[in-house]
Structure 1
Amino acid sequence: MPYSQDHGTAGSDEDSKPLLNGNKHHNHQRKNKPYRRHQRITKVLILYLVLITSLGLVYQRYLHRLIFIDYDAFPERTGRVIINPGIDPELNLSPVYINRTDTDQNLLIDKAIHELAKRLKSVYIQPSTLECHPSSETERLIRTRFLDNKGLPKGDHQVMIALNLHSSQDSLSAITNAILNSLRYLGTSNVFVSIYENGSWDHTPEGIGQFGAILTSLNIPHHFRTAQEDTIWDGVDRISILSGYRNLALSPGFKMADKALNGGLSEVVFINDVFLCYQDILEVIWERNLQHADASCGTDWRGSKSILEEYGITKKKSPALSPQNRKQSLVLYDSWVPRSLSGKTLRPRLDILTEYRDGYSVIFDQEKREEPHDLYQQRFQNNVAVPVYSCWNGIVSLSPKPFREGIKFRAADRKIGECPSSECQLLAKDFWSLGFNKWILVPKVAVTYSQDLYHSQALIDGSNRNHNRSIHSSLSEDDDQSWNEIIDWKRYLKPETVVCWPDMYKFHIDFEWNHVLESPYNPKLLKNSSSSLSDTTTCKYLN
């Protein structure tokens, strides 16, 4: 019995070992199952968070910017619009004394630029370092266009230059230099400058005052006003306020300029707070007259953004220009105002790859591949003026005739169901309604909102600003509108409808393939206009 007990005991011990090991393995599996389940749950949660975050980013970047499908979802803001007329910033400034005994106009302008640089520095505004030395080819062309055989201004253009500024000290010195240098070709007796500024938190008002003192020393007529008060935006129609500001730069100066300049105004040039050179001002003026257009606009550009910059995770830096910066890709800045003659935006509104595409190749890419629509992109890429419905894009030269007929900047008339769009596009709409329907985009004029981009290689190549083609139409019978510098207006169709892109502050979706479209004309102006303008809407082609 002891043996059998010992044997049985021994057998039981040996048999129990695998059982114990199996129990341990089974227990280990039991312990691992919750762990693996937790891993799966964690992965699902991470994927869910990634998906939600991605959808949120897409919403923030694109969906909330889609246009409204009806105006009921876009209630009118009726708050009181308060606009301060401002004061003369030149008051109480010491006068500038420039030796005017020298009859050399260019020498006087050199002295004025030098003196202004010192005065701007005294109010903590750095003088401009933007290089504005055109190629010899461009310089010769400018001299031929604007100077006579003696090298003096021909005086063909009586120009009012108007600006609306707000906290613009970074670009102010570049703008003032461009204006002063343009006087070499336009003539000091042929230019009037008007500026309205408000609510700046930097030294822009002081800089404007110093610029006014310089213009006074050169006997150049001007009208400057600055207002310290901040804009009250709450409950107020934003476009009504912006229209009021633009009218303060336009209306008082317009009447004064018409009296001050010999023969009255021939050009009204509006400039945004951009980096530009004097040749940009001259080019929009020249092109408007060359094409017998009612308005000519440049193009304005910004640098493309990285993913982090696009979603506001990091802020974009503006480093000094380097070979790497020169190769930076570009995006057209103002796509809100401009419309092609087919009524479309110049580039797609809903494009998740906007920041990664070639900025020049996407312009007019939405047009039909048939004449005349296919000519828009061809002309743009060939750097010749392109007929459009509307534009602004940093700098625009306008005919003064519509303003003499009472046209002003305005907000949309909601009582007649008008699209609440930009005051600049509504200005184009009113121009068209009075028969001033020849608007052009000038690719050679390329301005920027940061100095380092102005001489970027992409902009130089895209605009071809350093090279000029001759006017082939005057030398050849070839009528190829894809490259011919002169626009044959009779070959271009008027738009039947225009895409509405309202000033948005309340969300409502209208997908891009279901755009809200509206008439390209202001019915009130059409109703009040003379019968001689009846062909404004009935004639299919521009003429």
Structure 2
Amino acid sequence: MRSRQYQVILAAAIVAFGLWFLMVRLHPIDSNWLHNGKVTILDGTKSPESNQQPAPVAEKPDEKPIAVPAGEWDASWKNKEAWFKWLKSSPTLTDESTLPTTHISHEDVSKYVNSILDFEDNATFERLECPSKIPSRYNPMRAAAGSSDQVKYFFALDLYQSAAIIPRLMSSIIEAIRFLGPEHCAISVVEGRSEDGTYEILATLKSRVEAMGGRFFLSTSDINPLGGDYDRIEALATLRNMALHPLKARGPSNWNDKIEGIYSSDAIIIFINDIALCPEDILELVFQHVGQDAHMTCSFDWIYNGSLFYDVWVSRSLVGDTFFEIPHDASWAYSKDMFWNDPIGKQRYEAYQPFQVYSCWGGMVTLDAAPFAEDKVKFRASKPGECYMGEPTLLAKDMYRHGLGKVLAVPAVNVAYSDKEAVGTKLTRGYVGDHVDQSKSSLGQDELVSWKSAPPGMVKCLPNFDQPSWVDPV
């Protein structure tokens, strides 16, 4: 009888222990996960070690949480209201009220970040309106990323005094990341010397992106390309290389020494200036890059409401000339006659079809990541005795030297450097959907480029617009 009593007591103890284990060890919001330092908010050195997301927490006791399990981005995509509520109610990995706000209040930071995360919020800030749906054309890009647990899309930015452009810029990036799968994306931003709250906004946004399952590297620099202490091109090249630093397998001790292996071998860099753009602009550029098997792919950037191409100093056509003629008096009189001496380029440009060029930038580019991770190429300034050129032109020169000369310009993707200018540019140049059949998930025969392996015989050198000459292309 006593033996049977002992058995009952032992069984009850086992059951109690089992219940305790389930509650403490398997609770969906593990306090150790929240506080063990797996994500460091400000230095960009670490990231979640698992794609599993904690269950959302309601903002109010009577508010039912909206559960969006990890990986079910398709389901959340169909319900944007659910997605935004999930983002707002998800636990963050730091107390955002403790983040430094030297130049902006916490209230204003929250205003910016909440607007960024709410893609369809065009009321808080006046910003470029973008299509609310991602077309099926880009589904293969998401499927390709989902074939492994590695990062395939690496967004790189250098930002200074960018608070005015951030609501549209970062919202479009986040929306593209959400579509591609946050676990397959990383953002690297180098912020410098801003006094308008740019850093504070990015620091808070960083914690939100990491809570989504993405990686976000945030660093700062006091390099001023226009300050006179540095050569402008050398300074710009240094800042761009800093943004790409997390691609390195092992960096200085202040970076995560376990970063090795998190990127896929075919990872793509998406380098974006401080521009107003839409998610479809990003996705179309990547789509063309992959579909055309390009090494570098560029958009077109505009000023004066889409009437003047901006990056003419660094861009060269496949005949080695600037995209439009700049005469000896350095005037812009011929700016509307794009690709005047490149018949194939001109024809495809006017038809909004992609075409090969020698070099470009255009406010946003995609690049194969491997050559940068392996130190085959990097952004640089001109060497002694070399034509003084912009870092994108020199990059193209070095890429050709390594057999990476598939440089593509995509005239269907048009961006600008303010929301107001972007509105005018889209009216003048159109949205991507105005020029591309976004219902087709593969390139049409008319879109495909016939690549030329050899660069132009000579390339125009323009240290200043009124001092042209011609130099070797490699």
TM score, norm. by length of structure 2:
0.69
Q: Note if contact 1:112-1:214 (Cα within 8 Å) is conserved in structure 2.
A: no
| Structure 1 residue 486 displacement after superposition | 0.4
Task: Report the counterpart of residue 236 of structure 2 in structure 1.
Answer: 242
Q: 1:400 to 1:475 in 2, by over 3 A?
A: closer
Q: Note if contact 1:390-1:428 (Cα within 8 Å) is conserved in structure 2.
A: yes
- Of 361, 368, 378, the residue aligned with 1:399 is 368
| Structure 1 residue 234 displacement after superposition | 3.0
| Structure 1 residue 122 displacement after superposition | 3.1
Query: In 2, distance between residues paired with 1:302 and 1:120?
Result: 33
Task: Report the counterpart of residue 455 of structure 1 in structure 2.
Answer: 423
Task: Report the counterpart of residue 348 of structure 1 in structure 2.
Answer: 325
Task: Report the counterpart of residue 330 of structure 1 in structure 2.
Answer: 307
The structure carrying a bigger helix percent of its residues is 1
Q: Note if contact 2:330-2:466 (Cα within 8 Å) is conserved in structure 1.
A: no
Task: Report the counterpart of residue 519 of structure 1 in structure 2.
Answer: 472
Task: Report the counterpart of residue 218 of structure 1 in structure 2.
Answer: 212
Q: Deviations over 1:470-489 (max 9, x none)?
A: 8899887xxxxxxx210111
Q: 1:336 to 1:179 in 2, by over 3 A?
A: same
Structure 1 position 420 matched with structure 2 position 388: yes
- Of 116, 128, 142, the residue aligned with 2:138 is 142
Task: Report the counterpart of residue 56 of structure 2 in structure 1.
Answer: 99
1:204 alignment partner AA: T
Q: 1:456 to 1:112 in 2, by over 3 A?
A: farther
Q: 1:252 to 1:114 in 2, by over 3 A?
A: same
Q: Secondary structure at the match of 1:167?
A: coil
Q: Note if contact 1:191-1:261 (Cα within 8 Å) is conserved in structure 2.
A: no
- Of 357, 374, 378, the residue aligned with 1:388 is 357
Q: Deviations over 1:128-170 (max 9, x none)?
A: 543554387x724334x4456xxx9755880110000111111
- Of 158, 166, 190, the residue aligned with 1:164 is 158
Q: Secondary structure at the match of 1:248?
A: helix
Structure 1 gap segments, 5+ residues each: 1-86, 304-327, 368-372, 477-483, 522-543
Q: Secondary structure at the match of 2:164?
A: helix
Structure 1 position 110 matched with structure 2 position 84: yes
Q: Note if contact 1:134-1:466 (Cα within 8 Å) is conserved in structure 2.
A: no
Which deviates the most, 262-271 or 453-462? 453-462
Structure 1 position 130 matched with structure 2 position 127: yes
Q: Note if contact 2:328-2:466 (Cα within 8 Å) is conserved in structure 1.
A: no
Which deviates the most, 373-382 or 119-128? 119-128
Q: 1:89 to 1:347 in 2, by over 3 A?
A: farther
Q: Note if contact 2:138-2:287 (Cα within 8 Å) is conserved in structure 1.
A: no
Q: Deviations over 1:79-132 (max 9, x none)?
A: xxxxxxxx97469xxxx998284224336753477689x978337759454355
Structure 1 position 429 matched with structure 2 position 397: yes
Task: Report the counterpart of residue 289 of structure 1 in structure 2.
Answer: 290
- Of 183, 187, 194, the residue aligned with 2:181 is 187
| Structure 1 residue 258 displacement after superposition | 6.6
| Structure 1 residue 347 displacement after superposition | 1.3
Matches within 5 A, 1:488-499: 488-490=450-452, 494-499=455-460
Q: 1:122 to 1:147 in 2, by over 3 A?
A: closer
Task: Report the counterpart of residue 485 of structure 1 in structure 2.
Answer: 447
Looking at both structures, which has the greater relative contact order when contacts are Cα pairs under 8 Å and sequence separation is at least 6? 1
| Structure 1 residue 270 displacement after superposition | 0.4
Structure 1 position 207 matched with structure 2 position 201: yes
Structure 1 position 363 matched with structure 2 position 338: yes
Q: Kindly report the root-mean-square deviation, in angstroms, between the aligned alpha carbons of the 2 structures.
A: 3.7
| Structure 1 residue 191 displacement after superposition | 0.4
Q: Secondary structure at the match of 2:298?
A: strand
Structure 1 position 121 matched with structure 2 position 108: yes
Q: Note if contact 2:186-2:216 (Cα within 8 Å) is conserved in structure 1.
A: yes
Structure 1 position 298 matched with structure 2 position 260: no
Q: Note if contact 1:132-1:278 (Cα within 8 Å) is conserved in structure 2.
A: no
Q: Note if contact 1:302-1:330 (Cα within 8 Å) is conserved in structure 2.
A: yes
Q: Secondary structure at the match of 1:192?
A: strand
Q: Secondary structure at the match of 2:387?
A: coil
Q: Deviations over 1:1-58 (max 9, x none)?
A: xxxxxxxxxxxxxxxxxxxxxxxxxxxxxxxxxxxxxxxxxxxxxxxxxxxxxxxxxx
Q: Note if contact 1:271-1:396 (Cα within 8 Å) is conserved in structure 2.
A: yes
Structure possessing the higher radius of gyration over alpha carbons: 1
1:130 alignment partner AA: R
Query: In 2, distance between residues paired with 1:142 and 1:475?
Result: 14
Q: Note if contact 1:146-1:185 (Cα within 8 Å) is conserved in structure 2.
A: no
Q: Deviations over 1:227-272 (max 9, x none)?
A: 4676683353222222111111112344479736363452011000
Structure 1 position 377 matched with structure 2 position 339: no
1:431 alignment partner AA: M
Structure 1 position 273 matched with structure 2 position 260: no
Q: 1:167 to 1:386 in 2, by over 3 A?
A: same
Query: In 2, distance between residues paired with 1:98 and 1:119?
Result: 26
Query: In 2, distance between residues paired with 1:352 and 1:97?
Result: 63
Amino-acid identity (%)? 26
